[in-house]
């Protein structure tokens, strides 16, 4: 089910005023991908980009076409690892976040 404009606006407004929410949304996207739920991770990462930097600015930072970045995170998108990791690295830098990697037995 596609998100409504009201819901997207709510997410954007919350992300603008709440740094912990922004960081949490970003973390959830990464954790979903690392937990073998790549589709959910892409949706959350797309929501994060839309609610924060936007695809136009991110594309300029990465010297990529914005439509290419949007396709990467679409339902049918299949991004190459180097492009996805470059996107995540750029977003992580903007948010000034680090992600500790924990080993689970």
Query: Which tens digits make up the pLDDT trace of 54-81?
Result: 999 999 999 999 999 999 999 899 999 9
**Domain definitions of the chain by residue range:** 5-95
Whether 25 contacts 44, CB under 8 Å: yes
Q: What is the pTM of this model?
A: 0.83
Q: pLDDT in tens for each of the 105 residues of the chain?
A: 455 667 677 888 888 888 898 899 999 999 999 999 999 999 999 999 999 999 999 999 999 999 999 999 998 999 999 999 999 999 999 888 776 666 555
């Amino acid at each position: 089910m596609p998100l409504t404009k009201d819901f997207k606006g709510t997410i954007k407004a919350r992300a603008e005023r709440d740094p912990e929410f922004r960081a949490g949304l970003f973390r959830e996207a990464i954790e979903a991908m690392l937990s073998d739920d790549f589709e959910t991770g892409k949706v959350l990462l797309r929501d994060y980009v839309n609610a924060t930097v936007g695809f136009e600015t991110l594309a300029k930072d990465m010297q990529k076409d914005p439509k290419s970045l949007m396709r990467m995170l679409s339902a049918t998108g299949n991004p190459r690892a180097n492009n996805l990791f470059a996107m995540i690295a750029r977003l992580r830098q903007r948010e000034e976040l680090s992600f500790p990697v924990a080993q689970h037995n």
